[in-house]
Amino acid sequence: MSEKNTTKKAWVKPEITPLRNGLANKFGSVRNVNWCDSIDDVPFDKLIRSYGSPLFVASEQKLRSNIKRIKNAFSSRYPRIQMAWSYKTNYLGAICNVLHQEDAWAEVVSRFEYEKARKLGVPGQCIFFNGPNKSREILERAIDENARIHIDHLDELYLIEDIAASRNKEVNIGIRLNFDTGYTEPWSRFGFNIESGQAMDAVWRISSSTHLKLVGLHSHIGTFVLEPRAYSSQVSIMCAFLREVEGKTSFKIDYIDIGGGFASFNALQGIYLPPEQVVPSIEQYAEAICETLLEETHDHLSQGRNRPLLVLESGRAIVDDAEVLVTTVVANKRLPDGRRAVVLDAGVNLLFTAYWYNHVVRPTKPLDGKPEETVLYGPLCMNIDVMRNSVILPPLSVGDQLVFSSVGAYNNTQWQQFIEYRPNVVMVHNNGGVSVIRTAENLETMTAHEKLPEHLSRPFPDDQPEK
């Protein structure tokens, strides 16, 4: 027999698929059916062999190029910008320091985040301290270290004034504002409201204090904002407020912090168009913001003053697509309604954002067989542990790997220690090297903080006979 005839066809898992309408709809629900075997030329199977599954993989190169692109998009349109890395988005030390190396300052919202930024080596004056809960203790430290504190409510103002008075020091502060842009749901629970006059009242209160000096205005209009005009409106309102403050008091506003909220290339559940069509490019955001800001601050130029510094607290837009989650198929199932289901070793305990995103899921190698609607479940014994409610995938075998992408934002901070150990997080470097940036948890780390009272030190009495 000749060689040709001995070649067998590859075995394909047999399947029965019900005929279903609606798959080939006009919104193109079949997307990214291709596969993805590596990140920055480092193959996933090699990473899984070395660091286990599941595995978070961050790309240093992508992080750097993302922040550079945002920085360039804004700095080519406005003369003074400062990026501030939003710690809550992803505060793994390695991630933060990559971004700090790219000239980003830190934006923190709690004592823990402040202490972490300081521990990483960020000077106090390069930290924007937001958030509604700042204790006296941490405020004292922040004031001593000249951090840029944004006050959220009057009680905080009184507290800072008290600390400043006790230290006989003039403290530079910013205030958090809230207002209706006409585009987004106002986040009126934070800061001071402009429309009601509350914000100006707060400014008057600050101007009556000998220890406080208002130097910055801060607001944040929402998250995953898909409409750049919302930012134009935000900047206009803030600049109008700036003029009011400078006109009525002797304060000179040095910076305008417009928060973050730029959308990343991820598909929000409930939005039918794919992100490529609905998510504006960074340049579109930059254009909307800077054009308005240049117009609104033109009078600074005629007064011979520098325009105010524009502070951007981007998180998601920088980190989201710089990290992926690699998972392994644990089991296949067929649901009573006929849909195929797959159990993975990572669930919503690790991928918190699966609650609101439809992540892109791709196998790490080309798989044969007819793609079929599939439900992806995590490893938790909870009904809510669904990674994707419906995704079109070819048949999967146990041990096959799936890559969830754009998982950099909010997962490594909001993940839960629940049921499972949390896995390794690795970073692929520009030179192809790989480092673990957070080691996998084990029993020791999980129980490190536990204390057993003496009388509870044993689960069973020692003298109990073996069963």
Q: Which residues would be at the binding site for another protein (CB under 8 A)?
A: 65, 68-69, 72-80, 281, 283, 287, 290-291, 294-295, 298, 301-302, 305-306
Q: E strand or H helix at 120, and its extent?
A: helix 111-120
Residue nearer to another protein on the CB measure, 81 or 117: 81
Residue nearer to another protein on the CB measure, 222 or 308: 308
Pair of tokens at residue 357: 């995103």
- Minimum distance of another protein from residue 218's CB (angstroms): 20
Q: Residue 323's closest CA among 63, 53, 49, 42?
A: 63
Question: Count of CB atoms within 10 A of residue 371's CB?
Answer: 15
DSSP 8-class letter at 262? B
Contact 87, 93 (CB under 8 A): no
- Minimum distance of another protein from residue 453's CB (angstroms): 50
- Minimum distance of another protein from residue 217's CB (angstroms): 17
- The alpha-helical segments, DSSP class H, found in 249-281 are 275-278
CA 409 to chain centre: 3
- Minimum distance of another protein from residue 18's CB (angstroms): 39
Residue nearer to another protein on the CB measure, 253 or 402: 253
Beta bridge pairs of residue 150: 174
Q: Is 59 helix (H, G, I), strand (E, B) or coil?
A: strand
Residue nearer to another protein on the CB measure, 276 or 466: 276
∠ CA 7-8-10 to the nearest 5 degrees? 130
- Minimum distance of another protein from residue 291's CB (angstroms): 7
Contact 152, 191 (CB under 8 A): yes
Read off φ and ψ for residue 19, nearest 5 degrees.
-75, 125
- Output the DSSP codes for 319-362: HGGGEEEEEEEEEEEE-TTS-EEEEES--TTT-GGGGTEE-EEE
Residue nearer to another protein on the CB measure, 250 or 457: 250
Beta bridge pairs of residue 8: none
Residue nearer to another protein on the CB measure, 64 or 339: 64
- Minimum distance of another protein from residue 68's CB (angstroms): 7
Residue nearer to another protein on the CB measure, 21 or 168: 168
- Minimum distance of another protein from residue 118's CB (angstroms): 16
Residue nearer to another protein on the CB measure, 196 or 281: 281
Give the C-alpha separation, 272 to 252, whole Å.
45
Residue nearer to another protein on the CB measure, 180 or 254: 254
Contact 241, 261 (CB under 8 A): no
- Minimum distance of another protein from residue 359's CB (angstroms): 22
What is the rounded (10 degree) CA torsion for 17, 23, 24, 28? -130
- Minimum distance of another protein from residue 79's CB (angstroms): 5
